[in-house]
């Protein structure tokens, strides 16, 4: 009896340690995404980064809560607002910033830029600038996983604006017919570019998914624990052949539609922005929970924040000095090599 009690105590201790490690990993990953975006925004404002980019700040709990429940062998597809997904799935700062700056050491050798980053070593099949464009890719990845019996799961990230695209529904229809291991993760940040979602989307987004015979859920996208708990359940069910699933994650983007969208008062109020930032910030609230549960101290979190900011700055400095691809590569990865 004593031995059994000791085993239970050891198991509980191990579980507690595992939970603590996961909590700190999720906190760090959210801070990493925020630091990455702060630096990316500054690069744009200082005219050091070509093209436009779309900030993920404010939505960190979605990417982190979901990707924490995945393995490297699981797949994700991303969007034009995809930096958070990339970082959460394991992307490194140096290669990310190199890609944004068009440098050779970037994930796509500097040729994809902000909206087309892929990292297949971590199962990231790529960001996609086409609204809803990655839904077919994620569904295809899930089909291959089922056919090859790999046990892998695919998560398809997309914004609420993609619910107006026919490709999404065609993909969900096939996924439901074939019972594919895919989770359709709709990041509903309240706006499709410059228009409120409820002004262009009739009815409930989850009810649309239910029309294809799949289970659909709504979760607070600012609560990383709620997102992670639901995703763990759905990933486990996908691995058992019970997919697909649809999840609406209610969240908010702090910046405009893109970095050039700086005067947002014509489509959303400063009061609304302040409400989300002051009361529903996913990093602040999770940090408050961690200290309230006495899992860590405020000093511990401050140390993580400082370390991540230093890492981001070092990566930016490195990327600024890195070299561009040689001009001879202009058609490489564009046309097939002659055999």
pLDDT in tens, the chain (339 residues): 666 655 555 565 556 678 999 999 999 999 999 999 999 999 999 999 988 899 999 999 999 999 999 999 999 999 999 999 999 999 999 999 999 999 999 999 999 999 999 999 999 999 999 999 999 999 999 999 999 999 999 999 999 999 999 999 999 999 999 999 999 999 999 899 988 888 888 889 999 999 999 999 999 999 999 999 999 999 999 999 999 999 999 999 999 899 988 888 889 999 999 999 999 999 999 999 999 999 999 999 999 999 999 999 999 999 999 999 998 888 888 788 776
Give the CA distances from residue 55 to residues 60, 100, 176, in Å, rounded to whole numbers and listed in that order.
11, 13, 32
- pTM attached to this predicted model: 0.93
Q: Which tokens is 299 given?
A: 């000093």
- HSE-CB of 66 using CA atoms within 13 angstroms: 34
Q: Identify the pLDDT of residue 157.
A: 98
Report the relative pairing of strands 245-250 and 195-196 from DSSP bridges.
unpaired
CA distance 313 to 51: 21
Q: pLDDT at position 272, please?
A: 92
pLDDT at 335: 82
**Per-residue confidence (pLDDT) for residue 288, from 0 to 100:** 98
Residues 6+ apart with CB under 8 A from 30: 60, 61, 64, 224, 282, 283, 286
**pLDDT of the residue at 14:** 59
- CA gap 323, 129 in Å, rounded: 25
Q: What share of the chain is helix, strand, coil (3-state, %, to 5)?
A: 50, 10, 40
pLDDT given for residue 15 in this prediction: 60
Asked whether 226 and 65 are in contact (CB, 8 A), the reply is yes
Q: What pLDDT does residue 206 have?
A: 95
Q: Is 3.90.940.20 the CATH number for 22-324?
A: no
């Amino acid at each position: 009896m004593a031995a059994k009690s000791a085993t239970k105590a050891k198991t509980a201790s191990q579980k507690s340690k595992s939970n603590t490690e996961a909590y700190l990993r999720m906190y760090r990953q959210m801070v990493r995404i925020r630091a990455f975006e702060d630096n990316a925004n500054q690069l744009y404002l200082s005219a050091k980064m070509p093209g436009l980019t779309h900030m993920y700040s404010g939505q960190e709990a979605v990417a982190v809560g979901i990707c924490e429940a995945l393995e490297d062998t699981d797949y994700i597809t991303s969007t034009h607002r995809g930096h958070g997904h990339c970082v959460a799935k394991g992307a490194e700062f140096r290669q990310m910033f190199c890609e944004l700056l068009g440098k050779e050491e970037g994930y796509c050798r500097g040729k994809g830029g902000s909206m087309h980053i892929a990292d297949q070593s971590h199962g990231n099949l790529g960001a996609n600038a086409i609204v809803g464009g990655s839904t077919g890719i994620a569904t295809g990845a899930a089909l291959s996983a089922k056919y090859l019996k790999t046990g892998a799961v695919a998560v398809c990230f997309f914004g609420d604006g993609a619910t107006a695209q026919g490709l999404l529904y065609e993909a969900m229809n096939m996924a439901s017919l074939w019972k594919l291991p895919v989770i359709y993760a709709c990041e509903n940040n309240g706006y499709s570019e410059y228009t409120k979602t409820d002004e262009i989307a009739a009815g409930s987004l989850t009810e649309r998914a239910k029309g294809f015979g799949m289970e659909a859920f709504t979760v607070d996208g600012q609560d990383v624990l709620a997102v992670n708990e639901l995703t763990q359940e759905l990933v486990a069910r996908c691995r058992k052949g019970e997919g697909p699933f649809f999840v609406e994650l209610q969240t908010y983007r702090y910046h405009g539609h893109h970095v050039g969208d700086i005067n947002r008062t014509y489509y959303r109020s400063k009061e609304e922005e302040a409400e989300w930032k002051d009361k529903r910030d996913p990093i602040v609230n999770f940090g408050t929970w961690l200290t309230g549960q006495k899992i860590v101290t405020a000093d511990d979190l401050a140390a993580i924040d400082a370390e991540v900011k230093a890492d981001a700055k070092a990566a930016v400095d490195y990327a600024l000095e890195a070299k561009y691809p040689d001009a001879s590569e202009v058609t490489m990865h564009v046309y097939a090599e002659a055999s």
